[in-house]
Structure 1
């Protein structure tokens, strides 16, 4: 520290402070050497409360959080694309129910006598109903905002940052009709994207997977596991039945040559082959058709 400088000289006083600077003739009070003065910032915190930039108390945190929209039933859903809440505004445990409800209600494609025109005087353009025929599965129109929206991106879009125009077809709505059917610059085609992993195509695939619940990975694995269990059970039942019959008849199990090329592979294997001739389901699960060590 520089000589002659006090600690409070490095802090800029606030405007309106009533503390006067001591003159050279005034005697400064002598502080005891065994006392430590609290930092100036701590004193200011105790006098004026927490700084505005500091986080709020735990009891006040709910006031700053985004208000969630609760799903109360399909009859209470807002159909208009410009007025409906976004999917990510619903609680996570209700979003699939909301998606099913909107899929049941269907896409919003109203047929109006006159669509609202946008643009400068003399060059105003309107939405055309024929565009629904070109993009029948996802293109929507709002009668409230008179803008176009994407049904798939609304249901399964994951971009909530609202940067780079990513929310045009979900939140703000598209209204620049001049860029529709403008060759490679067509706004609707650009929204779909040329890449298979574009945001719109990913949302479309997610919607198709959502509708195809039977093809869900969990269901496929469950069906496969159940089929393997049934095949294993049938293989064991046939083997037990052959063992019981040979034991009852006091017959030998093994043969002299049990290789697949042998003409007589022993009583046990030959009995299994006999049962397989009369039951195709048994033939599919025993001997050479059995997996791995089950042979």
Structure 2
């Protein structure tokens, strides 16, 4: 890609956010990095930030949904030290937790639920494991095995595994957003190196372009030669400028002229602000002819600042 083409991931308006202060003495260049807001999960604050009491984790209580509990990294509610009430001379057995990791028990309703199916309910899922609760303890072993092999339960289980995996590795959207931010930061850091090099050449009053800037040239001009010199101890500059991994370098006359125009505007703005701050100033105008007999006019502004520089 040519240097003059539009480059993705680096807004050309970044050039307009260059701050050049105190050009006569200390010069600092700062690129404003405005990143996008981080993607926030829609997690209930009570579930995500505070410890949830046992009664609110009870699947028979509907104050907090299973999905919110899952986002808050809670597991199925499996109390062991509660009174399992008999129903038709049968009661819930806590040994069922071992073979059914998804199983929940509600002391309030004396019923069993499926934590995974409650977190990701399906329209064809068994209502007994989502809302009503399962109580037929004499059929528990067979019913639990049947539910474990159902299509809707397997689909919910896959979603739970995927969500839990995203807690450690991050979601695809989060990974993409993180990569984009990294690319933008590196691009702006490289652009800062280009601007610093141009600013050095401008302050020293040396020529920017070379007579021959081809790859075979032994002297490509002050600007490019200085970039090659800096790339020896600047990894990012070596990667972007020398190796040209991203296929753009911002070294063409189009970009350098744009940067110089912004610098000139910033210098003029600094002078105007200094005059306004001083309040009292004088203007000296002088002119002279060059070799082509064109009049060259110079404006000299004298003022006194509160710093009293020498």
Shift of 1:77: 5.8
User: Which among 98, 108, 111 is matched to residue 147 of structure 1?
Assistant: 111
Q: Is the 8 A contact 1:231 1:285 kept in 2?
A: no
2-structure distance, mates of 1:275, 1:239: 10
Residue 264 to residue 84, structure 1, CA distance change in 2 (3 Å): same
SS at match of 1:141: strand
Equivalent positions of 1:129-278 (< 5 A) are: 129-136=94-101, 138-154=102-118, 156-159=119-122, 161=123, 164-176=124-136, 186-191=145-150, 198-206=155-163, 209=166, 211=167, 215-216=170-171, 219-247=174-202, 248=204, 250-251=206-207, 253-254=209-210, 256=212, 258-259=214-215, 262=216, 264=218, 266-267=220-221, 268-278=223-233
Q: Is the 8 A contact 2:85 2:92 kept in 1?
A: yes
Shift of 1:84: 3.0
2-structure distance, mates of 1:77, 1:294: 61
2-structure distance, mates of 1:178, 1:145: 17
Higher relative contact order structure (alpha carbons within 8 Å, sequence separation ≥ 6): 2
Residue 152 to residue 284, structure 1, CA distance change in 2 (3 Å): farther
2-structure distance, mates of 1:79, 1:105: 9
1-structure distance, mates of 2:71, 2:152: 24
1-structure distance, mates of 2:144, 2:99: 16
Q: Is the 8 A contact 1:192 1:200 kept in 2?
A: no
2-structure distance, mates of 1:84, 1:168: 15
SS at match of 1:171: coil
Shift of 1:193: 5.9
1:185-234 deviations in Å (ceiling 9; x for gaps): 82352257686xx134224534654x56x825664454334323322222
Q: Does 1:289 align with 2:213?
A: no
2-structure distance, mates of 1:204, 1:188: 18
Residue 85 to residue 167, structure 1, CA distance change in 2 (3 Å): farther
SS at match of 1:285: helix
1-structure distance, mates of 2:225, 2:191: 16
2-structure distance, mates of 1:179, 1:286: 72
2-structure distance, mates of 1:165, 1:233: 51
Compare the two structures and name the one with the higher strand fraction: 2
Shift of 1:140: 0.9
Shift of 1:112: 4.9
Aligned match of 2:80: 111
1:40-75 deviations in Å (ceiling 9; x for gaps): xxxxxxxxxxxxxxxxxxxxxxxxxxxxxxx89956
Residue 199 to residue 75, structure 1, CA distance change in 2 (3 Å): closer
Kindly tell me the number of residue pairs found equivalent between the two proteins. Answer: 200
2-structure distance, mates of 1:207, 1:215: 9
Gaps of 5+ in 1: 1-70, 88-94
Greater gyration radius: 1
